[in-house]
Structure formats: C-alpha cells, structure tokens
Amino acid sequence: MTATHDPRLPGEILDFLACPTPAAWVDWALENPETLLIDHAQCEKKAASTAMSLLYRYVDDSELLTKMARLAREELLHFEQVVKLMEGRGIVYRPIGAARYAEGMRRHVRSQEPQRLVDVLIVGAIIEARSCERFARLIPHLDDELAKFYRGLVKSEGRHYEDYLMLARRLGEESIDDRVAFFIAQEGELITTPDTEFRFHSGVPA
C-alpha cells in the first residue's frame, strides 16, 4: 500500500521532521485498529501529564504557563473524545505497555537548567509534530468518523508543535538549532527501526 498525507498537514511539519512515517507502519496500524485507539488515548493522557508537570515545575514564566494550561486542557479533551470513540466501537480502554519512542528521546535530555527545559520543549515539539504527521498519514485509509476526528487533531497537534518550539527558541540562551537537529535524528531512527509490538509511535514491524 502507498499511503498519502492529508492535504491539511502543514508543510513546515514535513520539513521539520527527518523523514515521513514509513508505509510499513501505516499498514501495521490498519491491521491493529484496537491497539491504535487504545495507545492513542494513552498518548493524549501522557501529553496532558507532561504539560501539567511543566506547569508545576516552571512557575515563573507566564507565557509557558498559559501555553501549557491550554495544551493540558486540549489533550485531556482529546483523551475523552478517543475513549468515547472506543466505547462506540466496543473497545475497552486498558493500559498497555509504552513504546520505546518517547523514552528513547527523553534519555538524551540534559539534567541542568535551563538546558533541561529547552530539551524537554524540543522533545515535546517533535512528538507533537510526529503525532500530527501520523494522523494525516492515516486519514486517507480511515472510516468517515475517525477520519473527521483525526483531521481536527492535525490542526491542534500542529499548534502544539509550534508552541513547544517557540518556547524552546525563546528560552534557549543560544541557538537551539543543533539540539533540534540532534533530537530530530534520534526520532528518525526510532520510527524507522523495527519494533516487535505496534504502538502509535512505534517503529516499523520487525
């Protein structure tokens, strides 16, 4: 199968990421619709948790607080919407093991501030950009209900990517281009190398 992107996907996201999602992952996702939705729900919940942790840890930057508060609300709303979709399809939400994806990038986050915050924001931008790209990648192959929902997510996840990257650039003491390039390279490797279990952010099937 040759997968195509939804035309609503912002072009700058494709330029930002090292590579598009492999077609093999798209095929894998379509073979695992239940796991796709369950892990999607977990990703939305984790995204809200990340935003909340930034709210609690970094309390002296009003723009960061405003952006993360809005992001947390939107991610929790998306979580609720995915769970409702699952209920309509007879899918029971349950915890499943995480992909190696997010941890594979976060293990490179520096420990000292303000570098730690900058790295966390860069990783957040990349995760949101990839999520946006994967929604667009799936849309042409989905039923009408799910395709409509994912089209809405392309817009919101694209905005989240922009917010994370803007904050990282503003809070960095110097150019962050090298750090962005480093994490982009790590992310590209994670999504193009084999995984044994399908997840929303997994690599290709082993």
Residue range of the domain that includes 128: 32-200
pLDDT at 173: 84
Determine, yes or no, domain membership for 2. no
**144-187 pLDDT per residue, tens:** 999 999 999 998 888 999 999 999 999 998 999 999 999 999 99
Tens digits of residue pLDDT in 26-36: 999 999 999 99
CA nearest neighbour of 61 among 111, 121, 108: 121
Exposed e or buried b for every residue in 54-85, given b needs 16+ CB within 10 A? bbeebeeeeebeebbeebbebbbebbeebbeb
Measured CA to CA, the distance from residue 82 to residue 93 in angstroms comes to: 10
**SS3 (DSSP) at 175:** coil
What is the pLDDT, as a whole number, of residue 2? 40
pTM for the structure as a whole: 0.94
pLDDT one-digit tens code per residue, 96-150: 998 899 999 999 999 999 999 999 999 999 999 999 999 999 999 999 999 999 9
Domain of residue 76, CATH code:
1.20.1260.10
Query: Is residue 159 included in any domain, yes or no?
Result: yes
**Any domain includes 8:** no
Residue 14 belongs to a domain: no
Of 126, 123, 132, 119, the residue nearest 173 (C-alpha): 119
Domain count, the chain: 1
